[in-house]
Amino acid sequence: MSKGSLDKVSLGFFPTPIEKLTNFSNKLGGPQISIKRDDLTGLALGGNKTRKLEYILADALNQGADTIVTAGATQSNHCRQTAAAAAKLQLACHLVLGGEEPTNVNGNLLLDKIYGCQIHWAGQHRKGEDIEGIVERLKSAGKNPYVVPYGGSNEIGAFAFAEAMKELQLQTTDQEPYTHIVFASSSGGTQAGLILGNKITDANCQIVGINIDKDEINQCALDEQILRLVKNTAKYIGIDGHFTEKDVILNSNYVGAGYGVVGELESEAITMLARQESILLDPVYTGRAMGGLIHMVRSGEINANDNVLFWHTGGTPALFAYANELSL
Ligand SMILES: *Cc1c(COP(=O)(O)O)cnc(C)c1O
């Protein structure tokens, strides 16, 4: 392993494609908007966690793990992709999911079950509060468990998104640079990595996270966590760089009624992108982030001279689980 690199296992198809959203941009009457299709990473119907898991599970294999443990909400995309990655690497997988076992198994949860992982229902604890006890039990049973952090957002997961900025740079050498990259931010690893990669590649673009969850992780504001993760990731891979609060642009105007509560903002974004471009968004993350982008264009916060990249982070399997909440 050389400076600035980490071991990796291949779990998806990269680079993910970039498309210009011509109909959608015209309809909005704003700037040119393009989309980076991380919903097409291939692993278990795709998503941004594939990038993180390629490096995190390489670390798990290096440590001789035989069992992967992670946590999330009932409809966690991170858990679904972790379950799929574990299956591919022939590791056992335990998921600690918030809520109670629903009577109707659908969306991501259906896929978790198809991938054959063991599910522990954690009630109010959707951010991994119960992991420690499960890890202890696995160890007592002679297993070697490896915990993938909430959302895959540690230094290794963030590094994967710094690498994603290098991928983007190679795809866009002969075109106008993007002024903004807009995406859904939740556990912060994606944003931390993009901020770091923005600096490494000198892309000089605004990295705009749309906060989709008003609950804080461990009582610490998300923007502070992101800044800390940027700094720690730079240190972890041994690169220099000075980062301040100014580097963390986190827009919390669109959290609405909270995590996973679908309203008009999400429904409009989902139907508009589907009907103009035939691309599907999800109700919890990308629908909210695109709803935010639509609003920023309409309000003039992002204007016609800008050149915007929307980073599609996946999540589409959750559409089916939210069928009754969408206004169509
Ligand atoms: C996890 C996730 C995000 C947020 O990424 P973080 O690195 O956790 O901030 C965004 N969109 C989708 C679909 C996700 O599953």
CB–CB of 16/41 below 8 Å? yes
**What residues flank ligand 1, with Cβ below 6 Å?**
47-49, 77-78, 151, 153, 184-191, 282, 285-286, 313-315
**Closest Cα to atom 12 of ligand 1:** 313
Ligand 1 atom closest to 318 (CA):
13
- The pLDDT of residue 4: 78
Nearest to 162 by CA among 234, 232, 105, 90: 234
pLDDT digits (tens, 9 = 90+) for 105-159: 999 999 999 999 999 999 988 788 889 999 999 999 999 999 999 999 999 999 9
Q: Give the whole-number percent of the chain exceeding pLDDT 90.
A: 93
Q: Catalytic residue among 76, 153, 185, 187, which?
A: 76
Distance 202 CA to ligand 1 centre (A): 24
- Report the alpha-carbon distance of residue 140 to residue 142 in Å, rounded: 5
**Count of CB atoms within 10 A of residue 52's CB?**
32
Residue 242 CA neighbour count, 13 Å, CB half? 0
* Residue 327 falls in the annotated catalytic set: no
**Count of CB atoms within 10 A of residue 142's CB?**
7
- The pLDDT of residue 36: 98
Distance 207 CA to ligand 1 centre (A): 15
- Report the alpha-carbon distance of residue 26 to residue 309 in Å, rounded: 15
218 or 17: whose pLDDT is higher?
Answer: 17
Indicate the top mutation candidate among 74, 181, 216, 285 to test ligand 1's pocket, ranked by most ligand atoms within 8 A of CB.
Answer: 285
Ligand 1 atom closest to 183 (CA):
10
- The pLDDT of residue 53: 98
Nearest to 109 by CA among 152, 78, 132, 135: 78
Distance 313 CA to ligand 1 centre (A): 6
Ligand 1 atom closest to 185 (CA):
9
165-177 average pLDDT score:
96
**Closest Cα to atom 15 of ligand 1:** 77
Instruction: Name the amino acid, one letter, at 19.
Output: E
Ligand 1 atom closest to 186 (CA):
9
pTM of the shown model: 0.97
211-221 average pLDDT score:
80
Distance 130 CA to ligand 1 centre (A): 21
